[in-house]
Each structure stands twice: as structure tokens, then as C-alpha cells.
């Protein structure tokens, strides 16, 4: 496994909403550079920057028009390279966002591929050999090209799917995975990856990582084979480059495809969903919601088998939120968030913190959709830095902002919380410092459940020499887990530990370390 990931704590940046350095109402690379010291002080030593390549921005940059050109709204390629250098000078690694399964319909590859006459890029995308082809589990668009064919899309109409071949070709227009066109697509993606690694990028988060090979690849063996081939080539030259999958299936992403990390995403009913966002049915039963009746065993029943099967292959990455998910402060109070962060930063794997979650930025309901965001738009509003115009995000007039800032008079800001030792920001900084200081709390140290009983909210687990106890409920709780001879490394709320067990007050957490001789 890649060594630097062991101690990595990631910070996800939605670049258009992070920091505007030139007053045009949209965030940019120079804005990120200006806030690197803040990120470092937060305890985050790695970044994931959402799509920042040239794009018409019909899907917030996930519709790439040129993989090798930075989007002018953020700056130039030279600005992005400067960001890499400045981050590295502070010990911060930087991952970019790679959209490997599709491009924008405005990409030069697609402009060539849609022409009626055969050419070198005719097979870069997936085309039917007749205009209308319905069914088969694929989305087709017809009537949009000069070519006498329809094309497959991955998501929106503007996102034609790249051709990596079909695992079991069964139609005349299906190409095999080892066809010249499919292999050329692989080589083109390797070229994109290496282009940015050579510029100083440290790796990629891969959007829709399971979406490469189409049709009859339910077990994703074809897609896994493609990734193994890509990684095999890239890692010969860049062995420390890291890749995290948007897959949420570590058996495939880590063990079969060869990714270093796989996101544990908020999918309805899975273990991660039960922690923070189990409210889609109308009744909130989230574990970290005080007295909601959550049960940590629902998380463990889903998580533990995944963890045990894949922990030697890579890391399961849990996150506070991302650009596709409602912010945790949508339903959780600052105290509930503090208890959750005690969990997030002491669990195995590589944690990811979404910008603004460290200060409890709120999900903004009722915003009109922006660049294909729909309901997700409310989690993509500008970072709230401090008092003043637009809460410190931009000097632009309000109507020029990418999205409006939180209009509430009590909108949380980083500046205010930096001065408050009891703030959510201070708790996050203390927890990331704790993780960095104790190797047993970092990514690869084994995880063992010590106490998780039916009808009991208290959860106790071991990471090497460390024991972590968490009580999200509103009442005192006791776990009969002997913990004598251990020193307290971190305490949220009230609690004590001795040879009889661990007792925690309401909404409290203890991190204990075995006394060494």
C-alpha cells in the first residue's frame, strides 16, 4: 500500500465555491493557494479537488471538454501547477478528479467521432449501427449527430460514454474489449493521467469508476481488468500515485480493480447511511442523532464483512459529506457532529472531510439547480470564512456569485470558530492532531469491536493500543469493558474508565491508550 496514505486526512474542495481571489464571484486556484495554511492548520494533509478541467459546465465540470487544460474560470495550467508546488511545500498531497467514463459532447474527440465519414476517432465512443436502439440497460441519444447512429451516454445527455469495449459483444455495433478502438481509449486515459502526474499531481479520485465496460458486465470483471491494465502502466513510472474510486464496493474496487481507496458512499440502507442520513423514510433513525434509536450494529453488519475481506488490499474511505450529498449539519447539531467526528477520525481507512463541514455549514434548501446540481446544489454553496462581504468568500456583488452564501445571521464562519476553543472547528483540529500523533489511529491499524450490544448506544472499539468509546445518546452509558491502566488521550464531554468498565456521559467520547512500561 502507498505509504503516505497511512497518515492522510483529506479535505475535499469544490473549487468554484471555496475562495474567490479575483472578485469575479467564483472560486479559483489562487484562492485555494491562499487558504493552504488554513487547510494545513486544520490537520488535513491531502486535498481532493473536484473537476477543474476545461468544460462547458453543464454538470459542474464532470463534462470534460479538454482533459489537459485547466478551466479558465479557475486559472491556467501554470496556476494549477503552482497549487501543486505550494501544497507540496506544506506537506499536502493533491488529487484531481478524473472523469474516465465519458466526456463532454464538446470534446474534440466527440466532435470527430460524430462525423459521418470514418476517421481515427470514430470508435472512441459507443455508437449503435442504426439510429434507434432501445433497452439493454443503456441510455441512447439519437438525432444529435451527423452520423447515422445513436450514442450511449453515461449520465446526462451531454456526456457521451467512452468506448472501453463490451465484455461479451452480442450486437454488430458492440466492440470487444481488446478491439483497437477500445484499447486506444485505455491508452488515451493513461496519457491523461500521466500528463498531470508529471505536472505534480499526486493521484486521482475517479468519478463513476465502475462505469467503463458496458453491457453484460454485472460482476464488473471487464471494468476491473481495464483498471488493472491502467494502473499497471501508470505505477511503473509513478508508484506513489494514489487513486480513490467512486464505487462503494471495496471487494471490486480494492481487491479486483486495484484502487488504493474506495469511498463508502451514502447509499440508501447501507451501513454508512445508518450513521448520519437514515431519515429518507420520514423518521430519523441515524446512529449519531441523539436519542433517535439508532443501532451501531446496523453499520457493523454491513461494514465489518467489507473491511475484513479487503483490509489487506486497500482502504475504505468514510467521509463527512461530499458534493453529491446533503451536508451532515442538515439534521445534526454541532454536538452531534463532534461525536461523529470522534468516530470518523479514529476509524480505519482514509477519512475525507468536505469543505465547510469543519464549521458545520448548513445545507441550503430551495436553491435553483446550478450546473446540473439539482438537490445537491444546497451542499455546494460558498465557504464561509468570516465577517464582511459574502462571508469572506468573494468581493463580487451578490448577484455575480456562483451560488449565494448562507443568509442566516448566525451562519457559522471559520474566523469566529478559530477564536472559540469549544467550537466544532476546534474539535476537528484536536481530532486530526490526535490521529496524526498516534500511529494506531491511522489508516491500516487493525480494528476490533469490543462492545456493541442491542438496545445500547455505547460503542467501544480497539485500534492497536488505543480504545475508543462513543456515546451519541442523551443519557449516561456504561460498557463492561475493562480499561484500567490506560491514559486518556482525548475526551469529549464526560467519562471515566477503570478495571470495571467505561462510563460515558451524554454525547461523549473517550480515546484511551494503554500505558507503556
420-434, 452-466, 503-517: the lowest-pLDDT one: 503-517
CA–CA dist 408, 382 (Å, integer): 14
507-to-281, 293, 469 alpha-carbon distances in Å: 25, 14, 11
Q: Give the per-residue pLDDT at 492.
A: 98
User: Are 125 and 152 contacting, i.e. CB atoms less than 8 angstroms apart?
Assistant: yes
CATH 2.60.40.1180 segments of the chain: 447-514
pLDDT surpasses 90 at 507: yes
The answer on pLDDT for 62 being more than 80 is: yes
Q: Provide the pLDDT for residue 130.
A: 65
pLDDT at site 214: 84
pLDDT score at 208: 97
Tell me the average pLDDT across 30-38: 98
**pLDDT category, 137, cuts 50, 70, 90?**
low
Strand partners, 94: 47
Predicted pLDDT of residue 132:
55
139 has pLDDT over 90: no
Can you give the pLDDT at residue 185?
A: 98
Question: Which residue intervals of the chain bear CATH 3.20.20.80?
Answer: 3-101+182-437
For domain 102-161, the CATH architecture is: Alpha-Beta Complex (3.90)
Distance (Å, rounded) from C-alpha 300 to C-alpha 312?
19
- Cβ-Cβ contacts under 8 Å for 67 (sequence gap 6 or more): 53, 103, 192, 195
- Cβ-in-10-Å burial (0-12, 13-18, 19+) of 136 comes to middle
Residue 111 has pLDDT above 70, yes or no: yes
Tell me the C-alpha distance between 411 and 94, whole Å.
Answer: 29
CA atoms of 325 and 277, how far apart (whole Å): 10
CA distances from 199 to 91, 136, 270, 323, 444 (A): 17, 41, 38, 26, 29
- Distance between first and last Cα of the chain: 31
Q: How far apart are CA 406 and CA 363, in angstroms?
A: 9
Whether residue 515 is predicted with pLDDT greater than 90 in this model: the reply is no
For residue 417, give Cα distances in angstroms to 137, 147, 254, 387, 390: 49, 58, 38, 12, 17
What architecture is the 3-101+182-437 domain classified under in CATH? Alpha-Beta Barrel (3.20)
Note the pLDDT of residue 516: 65
**∠ CA(74), CA(40), CA(317), 5° rounding?**
85
Share of the chain above pLDDT 70, in %: 98
The mean per-residue pLDDT over the stretch 196-222 comes to: 95
CATH pick for 447-514 out of 2.60.40.1180, 3.40.920.10, 3.40.640.10, 3.90.1010.10? 2.60.40.1180
Distances (CA, A) of 486 to 235, 268, 446, 514, 517: 42, 38, 19, 4, 12
Instruction: Give residue-wise pLDDT tens across range 7-21.
Output: 999 999 999 999 999
User: For residue 131, is pLDDT > 70?
Assistant: no
Query: pLDDT at position 517, please?
Result: 52
d(CA 411, CA 311): 40
Does residue 307 sit in helix, strand or coil? helix
Average pLDDT (196-215) is 96
Please give the helix or strand (H or E) that residue 503 lies within, else none: strand 501-504
Give the residue from 516, 515, 510 showing the smallest Cα distance to 497. Answer: 510
136, pLDDT greater than 60: no
117 CB-near residues (< 8 Å, 6+ apart): none
The answer to whether 510 and 504 are in contact (CB under 8 A) is yes
- For 140, phi then psi, to 5°, come to -115, 145
Bridge partners of residue 70, in order along the sequence: 53
442, pLDDT greater than 90: yes
pLDDT in tens, 292-349: 999 999 999 999 999 999 999 999 999 999 999 999 999 999 999 999 999 999 999 9
| Greater pLDDT, 151 or 134 | 151
* Each residue's pLDDT tens digit, 359-390: 999 999 999 999 999 999 999 999 999 999 99
Q: What is the DSSP letter of 509?
A: E
SS3 assignment for 99-159: ECCECCCCCHHHHHHCCCCCCCCCCCECECCCCCCCCCCCEEECCCCCCCCCEEECCCCCC
Where, residue-wise, is CATH 3.90.400.10 in the chain? 102-161
pLDDT of residue 204: 98
pLDDT at 483 over 60: yes
Sign (positive/negative) of CA torsion 228, 128, 103, 249? negative
Please compute the mean of the pLDDT values over residues 445-455 and round it to a whole number: 96
Q: What average pLDDT does this structure show over 214-228? A: 93
Q: Which pLDDT band holds residue 286 (cuts at 50, 70, 90)?
A: very high
For the chain, the average pLDDT equals: 96
482 has a pLDDT exceeding 70: yes
Residue 223, judged by CB atoms within 10 A of its CB (0-12, 13-18, 19+), counts as: buried
> Would you say residue 202 has pLDDT above 80?
yes
- 344: part of which helix (H) or strand (E)? helix 334-344
Is residue 129 predicted with pLDDT exceeding 80? Answer: no
Global pTM reads 0.97
Amino acid at each position: 500500500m502507498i505509504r503516505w496514505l497511512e497518515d492522510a486526512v483529506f479535505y475535499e474542495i469544490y473549487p468554484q465555491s471555496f475562495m474567490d481571489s479575483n472578485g469575479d464571484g467564483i472560486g479559483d486556484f489562487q484562492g485555494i493557494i491562499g487558504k493552504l495554511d488554513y487547510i494545513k492548520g486544520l490537520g488535513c494533509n491531502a486535498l481532493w479537488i473536484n473537476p477543474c478541467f476545461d468544460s462547458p459546465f453543464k454538470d459542474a465540470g464532470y463534462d470534460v471538454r479538454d482533459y489537459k487544460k485547466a478551466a479558465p474560470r479557475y486559472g491556467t495550467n501554470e496556476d494549477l501547477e503552482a497549487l501543486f508546488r505550494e501544497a507540496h511545500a506544506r506537506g499536502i498531497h493533491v488529487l484531481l478528479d478524473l472523469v474516465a467514463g465519458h466526456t463532454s459532447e464538446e470534446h474534440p474527440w466527440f466532435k470527430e467521432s460524430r462525423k459521418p465519414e470514418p476517421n481515427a476517432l470514430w470508435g472512441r465512443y459507443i455508437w449503435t449501427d442504426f439510429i434507434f436502439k432501445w433497452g439493454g440497460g443503456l441510455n441512447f441519444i439519437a438525432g444529435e449527430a451527423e452520423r447515422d447512429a445513436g450514442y450511449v451516454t453515461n449520465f446526462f445527455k451531454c456526456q457521451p460514454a467512452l468506448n472501453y469495449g463490451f465484455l461479451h459483444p452480442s450486437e454488430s455495433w458492440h466492440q470487444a474489449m481488446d478491439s483497437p478502438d477500445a484499447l486506444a481509449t485505455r491508452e488515451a486515459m493513461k496519457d491523461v493521467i500521466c500528463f498531470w502526474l508529471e505536472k505534480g499531481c499526486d493521484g486521482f479520485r475517479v468519478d463513476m469508476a465502475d462505469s467503463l465496460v458496458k453491457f453484460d458486465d454485472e460482476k464488473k470483471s471487464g471494468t476491473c481488468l481495464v483498471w488493472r491494465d491502467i494502473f499497471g502502466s501508470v505505477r511503473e513510472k509513478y508508484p506513489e500515485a494514489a487513486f480513490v474510486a467512486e464505487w462503494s464496493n471495496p471487494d471490486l474496487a480494492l481487491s479486483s480493480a486495484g484502487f488504493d481507496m474506495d469511498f463508502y458512499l451514502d447509499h440508501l440502507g447501507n451501513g454508512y447511511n445508518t450513521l448520519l442520513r437514515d431519515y429518507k423514510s420520514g423518521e430519523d433513525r441515524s446512529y449519531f442523532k441523539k436519542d433517535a434509536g439508532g443501532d451501531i450494529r446496523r453499520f457493523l453488519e454491513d461494514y465489518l464483512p467489507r473491511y475484513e475481506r479487503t483490509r489487506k488490499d486497500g482502504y475504505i474511505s468514510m467521509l463527512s459529506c461530499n458534493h453529491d450529498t446533503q451536508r451532515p449539519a442538515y439534521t445534526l447539531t454541532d454536538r452531534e457532529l463532534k461525536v461523529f467526528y470522534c468516530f470518523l477520525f479514529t476509524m480505519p481507512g482514509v477519512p475525507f472531510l468536505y469543505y465547510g463541514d469543519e464549521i458545520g455549514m448548513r445545507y441550503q434548501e430551495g436553491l435553483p439547480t446550478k450546473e446540473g446540481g439539482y438537490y445537491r446544489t444546497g451542499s455546494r454553496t460558498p465557504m464561509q470564512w468570516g465577517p464582511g462581504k459574502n462571508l469572506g468568500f468573494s468581493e463580487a456583488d451578490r448577484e455575480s456569485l456562483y451560488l449565494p452564501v448562507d443568509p442566516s445571521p448566525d451562519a457559522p464562519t471559520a474566523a469566529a470558530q478559530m477564536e472559540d476553543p469549544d467550537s466544532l472547528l476546534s474539535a476537528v483540529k484536536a481530532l486530526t492532531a490526535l490521529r496524526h500523533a498516534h500511529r494506531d489511529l491511522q489508516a491500516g491499524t487493525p480494528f476490533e469491536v469490543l462492545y456493541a450490544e442491542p438496545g445500547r448506544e455505547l460503542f467501544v472499539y480497539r485500534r492497536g493500543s488505543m480504545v475508543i468509546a462513543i456515546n451519541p445518546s442523551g443519557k449516561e452509558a456504561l460498557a463492561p469493558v475493562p480499561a484500567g491502566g490506560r491514559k486518556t488521550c482525548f475526551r469529549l464531554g464526560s467519562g471515566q474508565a477503570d478495571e470495571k468498565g467505561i462510563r460515558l456521559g451524554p454525547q461523549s467520547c473517550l480515546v484511551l491508550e494503554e500505558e507503556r512500561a
